[in-house]
Every structure is written in C-alpha cells, then in structure tokens.
Amino acid sequence: MSTAAEGGADHFVLYVEDEEILREAGLAALTKAGFAALGAANGGEALRHFRAAPQRFPVVVLDWNMPGVSGVELIRELRALHPEVRILLATAEDAGALPDLRASGAWLRALRKPFRSYELLSQVAALLAQR
C-alpha cells in the first residue's frame, strides 16, 4: 500500500495501479498538485480500502489490466458500494476495445497510457467538478 498524503484529509483519490513505478509517479503528481491520494497495488487492495469508507473516495483512478480483479469487475464492485463514485480508467488499450460501461451509470472517463501528469490532474479535477 502506498499512502501519498493523509494529513487528516476527509477525501482521497484512490489510485489503483499494479506497476509500482507508475503508481508512485501518479501518487506523486496528485499530492504535488494538492490532492490527498491513497495507492493500491491491485483490485483486491483497492476494494479493502474502498469498503472501509466508500464516501471517502469520490474519485478512483484505476488501471484496466491488473492481476486478480479486472477493471470491469472493480468498477462494478465500486459502483455497488458507492453509485456516485467517479472513475478514471487508465489504459494502454484503444478506447474502442473497452466495454461500454456508461449503461452502469458510472461517471467514467478514460486516460490513454502513457499519459503526462497534467493529463491525469486535469481529468481528476474534471471528475471532482461533476457534483
């Protein structure tokens, strides 16, 4: 588990990425920009954090291809626990290859890997603005 910024924050961006270097880079970008962020190395770890306090995570950034719990499964689990959670799907896949998850009511955006920090930050900010 990676905790990038706790400091008593009420809300966190949950950043789910199985590649440690990418997870740490994402967390560093988020915290440098002033977001409180918590990292998870896989879907199971992300679900443990999320189940403990679903309302604490208004935005979840998640990798599409992870060992164990798939991106689709994780999105469905997160949405069952907190229907208003906003999801930023980080993937190297072409958007056309991804299933259409809009029908689930998910507030969902996709970010194509590799991406730059400013792209991550603008997408997270846009999702947080959707209130």
The predicted pLDDT at position 66 comes to 85
The predicted pLDDT at position 3 comes to 46
The predicted pLDDT at position 67 comes to 84
The predicted pLDDT at position 130 comes to 81
**Residue 107 zone, left/alpha/beta (φ > 0; ψ -120 to 50; rest):** beta
CA 50 to chain centre: 11
The contacts of residue 15 (CB under 8 Å, 6+ apart) are 2, 4, 23, 26, 27, 30, 37, 38, 39, 40, 60, 61
Residue count of the chain, please give it: 131
Its pTM stands at: 0.86
- Residues 42 and 69 sit within 8 Å (Cβ to Cβ): yes
Q: Which amino acid belongs to residue 66?
A: M
Place of tokens 């920090």: 117
Domains, the chain, with CATH or none: 2-112 (3.40.50.2300)
The predicted pLDDT at position 4 comes to 45
The predicted pLDDT at position 44 comes to 95
The predicted pLDDT at position 109 comes to 85
The predicted pLDDT at position 48 comes to 97
The predicted pLDDT at position 108 comes to 82
Q: What is the pLDDT along the chain (131 residues), one digit of tens a residue?
A: 444 444 446 679 999 999 999 999 999 999 999 999 999 999 999 999 999 999 999 999 999 888 888 888 899 899 999 999 999 999 887 666 666 655 555 568 888 899 999 999 999 999 998 86
